[in-house]
Structure 1
Amino acid sequence: MSKLEVFQLLLQDNPDLFTTQGLSSLLEDCIRLKYPERHKFTYPSLLNQQVYLSLANLGNGSSEDEEILRRILSDPKGWCMDAPAEVKEGGKFYDNMGKVFGPRFGTDLFLYHTVRDNIQQLQKNLGISGVRVINISVRDRLFSFPTVEDQLITLDEDRATLQQAVPEIIKYFVSLVQMQPAYKLFLVDQKEQKTSVSVTAVENAASSVVIAEIYTESYNWELTGANCWRGKSVERLDPDEIRLTLHLDWDENKFIFFEAQHPDLSRFPWLDTAE
């Protein structure tokens, strides 16, 4: 099946294919192919195996592709065992993963990574942004900010968009913390140890930040044993926790984490019990 035929089918499924959300949804569908009965596909054409394989640049009729397909489909666990040295070396990662998650896992992961790399190259060639704007409402305050699509690449212009949004995101977070009832603010280290801080610590960090992200968590907790609690995620107007993640570099190596906790300790029953 040619690439043109594949994209014609995908465009019939979703005319917005060549957009940030369109490509992100395509990769999300690819991830869900293993359990199709549990997912509503934006691109049902992917359920045709030839469409999916064509996105991986496989199945176009070349002798090399046919050999790779023969190996993958006939021996998912050992498809690269008698391949050339460089192919065998590259296949070790997938084979090792298969030993942990089952014989087909390595093959599925190989195919998905190949599809994702191809889609990311297409995204780059077409200049499609890897950033989307999300809308949130926390403590009855609406806010919109850009965030990275996990499976897409971040273009140079995306980096500018993300960095320019940092001051407003931090300002929004600080306003949420200071609203009455005021939240308790903590700096969280890599060992998840918490140190009480003021909003000044958040504001002082702004100058070195390239990406800022906010998310919230709230739970109903149930005691299941001696000091053992099970939580069920819920939505609350005033969430239990408001978290701010500050990325200090583009390589995802350096972070600063802040956590704001609701002052009502009954939201955190293990703390209440400890006292």
Structure 2
Amino acid sequence: MENSFWILNNESEDYSALDKSIDAEYLIVGAGLTGLHTAYLLSDISSNIVIVDANKVGSGSSGRNTGKVTSSHGLIYDYISQKYGDKSSKLYYEANEEGLRLIKDIVQKYNIDCNFETVPNYIFTTEDEGLEEIKKEYKVCERLGIPYEYLNNIEGFPIKIKGALKLDNQAQFDSKKYMNKLAQIICEKGVSIYENTPVLGLDTDKDEYIAKVNGDNKIKAKTVIIASSNPWHDSLGLYFSKEQAYRSYLTLSKLNKPIAKGMYINVEKP
């Protein structure tokens, strides 16, 4: 399969490529979930917002994800607490919960048909070593007030497990269908979207940024927000040296009986 399920099953509007030089208060590079939400929030305070994308709306990592909207990203909270402290770990949880509420509120406010569904998220293990990691994660979350539930088994789950963590009130949705509608909403709020418009360079001139795009065209902007999957403006951050390539595999099966509704991820790799 050359493309994701979300992209293959959702037709989106076509937005023209930028064919002239323009000015903007805010330039957002990347028309995925981050860029579209940023424009949505900024549209309350500005009427001059431009989004450009090298391809199409939601055609990058945002249109090729698992469709999970969750604050439960594997065993993350013990790791953050050890490296950055409890305050940062709790802030990570609160920020993700706020993002989940934002998407839910937008879906309800605009009645977006994107298969949005509230379900629990489970982290489980089938190994003794993984069980110790889960117990450590649970103790940290209990200390921070993150409402994980510790389980010895998952009812309706066909895999025998050693233990699991459950986080209620998480969500899943069709991310591309959601982004298609969100793009329409922000355009109605005055945001301009240009597809097939890669940024080829970024310079500064006094208190403005100048982004080079198609041909000799430029976008002058007071503020530039990089919302692309990979940073295209390095600014000596040497991001290219920190990126890693991953490959994921998908299997499809018919089951003898349904699995308990929810999202599941195991501790072990793979």
- The reply to whether TM is greater than 0.5 is no
Larger RCO (CA under 8 A, 6+ residues apart): 2
Higher helix fraction: Structure 1 or Structure 2? 1
What is the TM-score with the length of structure 2 in the denominator? 0.23
What is the TM-score with the length of structure 1 in the denominator? 0.23
Which protein shows a greater Rg?
1
